[in-house]
Structures are given as structure tokens and as C-alpha cells.
Amino acid sequence: MIAIRDPGLRAGRAGRTREPTRQLLRDVSGRIGWAVLAWAVALAFFLPVAWMVLTAFKPESAAETWPPQFTFSPTLSQFQLVFSGWGPYLTHSVIATVVSTILVLALGVPAAYALSLQPIKRWRDGLFFFISTKMLPIVAAIGPLYVIALKTHLLDSIWVLIILYTAMNLPLAVWMIRSFMLEVPGELLEAARLDGAGRIREIREVILPIVSPGLVSTALICVIFAWNELFLALNLTVTNAATMPMFLISSVPQEGLFIAHLCAAATVASVPVIIAGWIAQRSLVRGLSLGAIK
């Protein structure tokens, strides 16, 4: 056995050793060391994000210097530039994200119900069919998707994104909502049934109130994926439905200084989802693991 003592784990047990003060010291220094290490790792991961936000406040001339500048007189001019040009992109992103998420919930809640609380006979196959569609790479069908969109006059329309984002997020939502529904106490459903509640009343009055926090976190996960999606938007839209990721690309000109402007656009595009993710932190892991991990 390797005998590496773990000071932190032994915290609060100092009294058992012969030298309480020394043990206490070791505990404290172990804890501080641990915290310092964790903070260092966290800051390293966060550094590119911090650098992006910092650069967004730079004048263009201070963004591309050697050595990089950490002190400068901050300016909002990059943000003003972003806000003057992002209108249509923002609208398209909001519509595609919100409508697809509403559709996902509208289709996903009944489906999850049919696969959990009142399961159909082959609910296992149903569940695995949904997840298997997530494994098919959508990129493989991009050419034909383009042709289909063209022939159905959906090319460069917001609907093509809404339709595809709904299909993209629906499997994930079904798995996730199902895991929330399985937590509804059986006694409650039993009581509702004894009261003679029909299926619709049962869903509306018993299940939905209990799973609604879960629905909110499901919605947030869907929003994150729809908002960040680039591949389909880039292939199937040009101007009438171009979304925020495409706004970012458009903010990279062929020549001239653009780094500060790019960072401002990247910050503005990322912030809504970063905040949504921070709020949904607790349920993030559940959504990402399709409800497998609570």
C-alpha cells in the first residue's frame, strides 16, 4: 500500500493523533494547497474567456500588440459596432431557438409520458430509437438536405432551422423529461386515478406541476444547443435566416484590424448561453447524460 496521507480527508480528526497542533497545521496547509491548486486550474480554464471579454473592451489598436496589453483605456465602441449590425442575426437566432424549444417540449412531454409513467409495451425500443438518431451524423446527409430544402422552398428560411433543431434536441429532451417523470411519486398518480382523473387531467394537474422545474432545465439545454449550432445554419441559410454564429463569421473581415471587434461579437453571442448554463448548472449534468445521472 502506498501510504500517502491525505490531510484534507482527515480534517476534524486531529484529536486522534499524538501531536494535535502539528496535525492541525498539516490539515490547514493541505486545505490551502488544495484550494490554491483548484483555483489555478479553474483560472487556466477560464483564461481564454476572460481574455475574450477583456479584448472586447480594447480599442482596436490595443488588441493586436506585442506584448499583449493588460492595461488600456476601455472603450465600448466595439460593442456599439456589434449592436449596430446584429439585429437580423439576433432575431433569427431567438426565433429558431425559442420556437424549436417550444416544439421540443410540446412533442417531448407526451412522448416521455408514454415511455415512463404509462409505458407502451415496447418502451425500451422507443427510447433506444430516439437515442440512436443522435448517433447518426447529420453531416452525412447535408447534400440531400440542401436539395430537399431547396425543393420545398425552405432554403434560407427560418423554418428549416426550426424543423431541424427540433429534431436535433427532441431525443435528448425525451430521455431527460422521462427521467424527471420517473420521480413523480406513484401514490400521487394512484390517488388521482382513484379520484377518477382522466389521462389529460392526470398529466396537467399531477405530473406537470412536479416536473416543471425539470422542464425548465430541459428547455435550457435545448436552448444552449440550438443557439450555438453552426453547421446547419451555415449550409442551409444565407441572409434571411442567418443566426448569431454566422454573425460572428461575418465580423471577421478579409483585411484590417478586427480582433477587438471579433471579441466583442463573440462575447455578445456567447453571454446569453453562458448565463443560461450557469443557471442550469445543477441540471446540466443530467441533461448532458440524457437523464442517466441525476
Partner 1 sequence: MTVVEDLAPPPKVEIRPRAVGRREAWARRLPLLPALIYVVVVTQIPFVVTLWYSFQSYFWDVPGGAHFTGLSNYTKVFTSPDFRGALVRSVIMTASAVIVAMILGVVCAVLLDRKFFGRGVVRTLIITPFLVMPAAASLVWAGPMLDPNFGLLNYLLAPFGVNHVAWLSTHPLGSVIVVMIWQWTPFMTLIVLAGLQSQPTDTLEAAKVDGAGALATFRELTLPHLRPYIELGILLGSIYLVNTFDQVRLMTNGGPGTTTTNLPFYLYQQVNNAFDIGGAAAAGVVTVVLTIIVATFALRLFARVFQAQETRA
Site for partner 1 in 74-133 (CB under 8 A): 107-108, 110-111, 113-121, 123-124, 126-133
**Other Cβ atoms within 10 Å of 159 Cβ, number:** 15
State which of residues 12, 15, 48, 256 lies at the interface with partner 1 (CB under 8 A). Answer: 48
Q: Which three cell numbers stand for residue 248?
A: 460572428
> Which is nearer to partner 1, 88 or 119 (by Cβ)?
119
> Which is nearer to partner 1, 77 or 118 (by Cβ)?
118
Separation between Cα atoms, residue 135 and residue 142, nearest integer Å = 15
* 102-121 burial: b if 16+ Cβ within 10 Å, else e: ebbbeebbebbbebbbeeee
Closest approach of partner 1 to the CB of residue 19, in Å: 18
* Nearest partner of 238 among 178, 176, 168, 149, judged by Cα: 149
> Which is nearer to partner 1, 98 or 288 (by Cβ)?
288
- 267 to 286, contacts with partner 1 by CB under 8 A? 267, 269-270, 273-274, 276-278, 281, 284-285
Closest approach of partner 1 to the CB of residue 22, in Å: 19
> Which is nearer to partner 1, 76 or 279 (by Cβ)?
279
> Contact 134/203 with Cβ under 8 angstroms?
no
The size of the interface with partner 1 (CB under 8 A), counted in residues, is 122
> Which is nearer to partner 1, 88 or 277 (by Cβ)?
277
> Contact 214/109 with Cβ under 8 angstroms?
no
> Which is nearer to partner 1, 76 or 292 (by Cβ)?
292
Instruction: Give yes or no for residue 63 binding partner 1 (CB under 8 A).
Output: yes
- 149 to 188, contacts with partner 1 by CB under 8 A? 163-164, 166-167, 170-171, 174, 178-179, 182, 186-187
State which of residues 22, 153, 193, 201 lies at the interface with partner 1 (CB under 8 A). Answer: 193
Where does 41-132 show beta strands of DSSP type E? none
Tell me the three state secondary structure of residue 239: coil
Instruction: Give yes or no for residue 25 binding partner 1 (CB under 8 A).
Output: no
Separation between Cα atoms, residue 130 and residue 121, nearest integer Å = 16
Closest approach of partner 1 to the CB of residue 240, in Å: 18
> Contact 235/139 with Cβ under 8 angstroms?
no
What is the DSSP track for 31-45? Answer: HHHHHHHHHHHHHHH
Closest approach of partner 1 to the CB of residue 211, in Å: 14
